[in-house]
Amino acid sequence: MSSSKKSSDTSVHLKVSGDMSGERVLALEKDFETVIAGLPKGANLVLDLQTVSHIDSRGISLCVGMYKKCANRNATFSINAGSESLRILTQIKLDKIIRIQVLPDDNR
């Protein structure tokens, strides 16, 4: 699993690849909390899960927690999903709460 960050003045793009489950989520959570704490009001945070191969309940909980923390900071939160993460997130109807985008294969 790896993660990377790109940012501008009002937008932060966090990319996660590999496995987003179990104990690995704890490390991501700490990193992401630091990023969210530094977001200016009105910022946009995109969590890119396009190359995530597996996501479990801890990974889903992390997404929901990030959404709530962004809302508390008046920031927007969205997810770029790959086929595996999209399947799971739509099954649990998270797409009804969080904006989930799917980009064409050539943008991954």
CATH number of the domain where residue 47 is located: 3.30.750.24
Range of the domain at 73: 2-107
> By the 8 A CB rule, do 88 and 60 touch?
yes
Structure tokens at 93: 């109807």
Evaluate if residue 108 carries a pLDDT over 50. Answer: no
Structure tokens at 27: 């490390």
- In tens, the pLDDT along 54-107 reads 999 999 999 999 999 999 999 999 999 998 899 999 999 999 999 999 976 545
Sort strands 2-7 and 11-20 into parallel, antiparallel or unpaired.
Answer: antiparallel
Query: What percent of the chain is predicted at pLDDT more than 90?
Result: 76
Evaluate if residue 9 carries a pLDDT over 80. Answer: no
Q: How far is the C-alpha of 68 from the C-alpha of 71, rounded, in Å?
A: 5
Total domains in the chain come to 1
**Cut 0.75: pTM above it:** yes
Q: What is the pLDDT of residue 35?
A: 92
